[in-house]
Amino acid sequence: MQEYKITKSEYNSFKEFIYGHAGINLGDAKQSLVTSRLGKRLRHHSFTNFEEYFNFVESPVNSDEQQIAIDLLTTNETYFFREPKHFVFLEKEFLPKWNGKKCLRIWSAASSSGEEAYSIAMLLDDMLGDRSWEVFGSDISSRVLKKAQQGLYLLQRIDGIPKEYLREYCLKGTGQHEGYLLVDRELRSKVGFSQVNLTTPLGNVGEFEIIFLRNVLIYFDMRTKKHIIKQLVEKLRPGGYLFVGHSESLKGIHDGLESVVPAIYRKVS
């Protein structure tokens, strides 16, 4: 199998490509990541170097391949009930005070393969009963969104799900799906997924009481962070909450927000 090496010029081309299309700042030391993730596409198309592949991707007639390259260069790491303190805040602080007079809308704004969105949905269904709610999940990667819509996960990826939720909302696969878990159809019906690029105009996604944007900002430079947060704050209803990752901070970029607890901010009414 042919091994590829990427030149500095080729790397800079892809660095500018992913920054321009997704706002992601690869920095100067991710050559091995680009090589390993895109090398398979060079082999697929029988290209001899990354310059040939880059020119192919940049051609307007190859938009499908461009999306594949974006998908491959986008990091998608998630699991069920990740950073559990956020779910404790929802369970103990927010949901008991929810009046239920309108539909509660929560946005998982970098939902990857859907584990975060379904974790939120399980908690809402458990605590809100017949009150109206919906979860919206989005990601820039069409590849992971297809997986999210299926709601099908390897059993070794479900350790974070409480046992009572496993019984209530999950089905253990059999036959060709042995070793997998399927999220219950009724729960899946309340979770919608759509492709959204957070660096471009967000369009008519509506307004939300809570937006999850966790472990995403670390991939952007300051200018892009400010732009994304500004757009998301505009989609928060007054008094709504923005959740970021515990390793992230909105210091210097959170106009219109006040800190509530670590990694949770509230939109100033």
Q: Cα separation of 104 and 209, whole Å?
A: 7
| CB contact at 8 A, 269 and 238 | yes
Q: Which of 37, 131, 143, 237 is catalytic?
A: 37
Q: Cα separation of 160 and 119, whole Å?
A: 9
Start-to-end Cα distance in the chain: 59
For residue 152, list its beta bridge partners: 182
**CA angle, residues 243, 194, 185, in degrees to nearest 5:** 90
| Pairing between β-strand 133-139 and β-strand 264-267 as defined by DSSP bridges | unpaired
Any catalytic annotation for residue 130?
no
C-alpha 200, offset from chain centre? 15
Any catalytic annotation for residue 184?
no
Place of tokens 């996604």: 205
Helix (H, G, I), strand (E, B) or coil at 138: strand
Rounded to the nearest 10 degrees, how much is the dihedral formed by the CA atoms of 161, 157, 121, 186?
A: -100
Q: Cα separation of 134 and 194, whole Å?
A: 14
Q: Which of 82, 139, 188, 214 is catalytic?
A: 139
135-157 as b/e: b if 16+ CB within 10 A:
bbbbbbbeebbebbbebbbeeee
Residues annotated as part of the active site: 37, 139
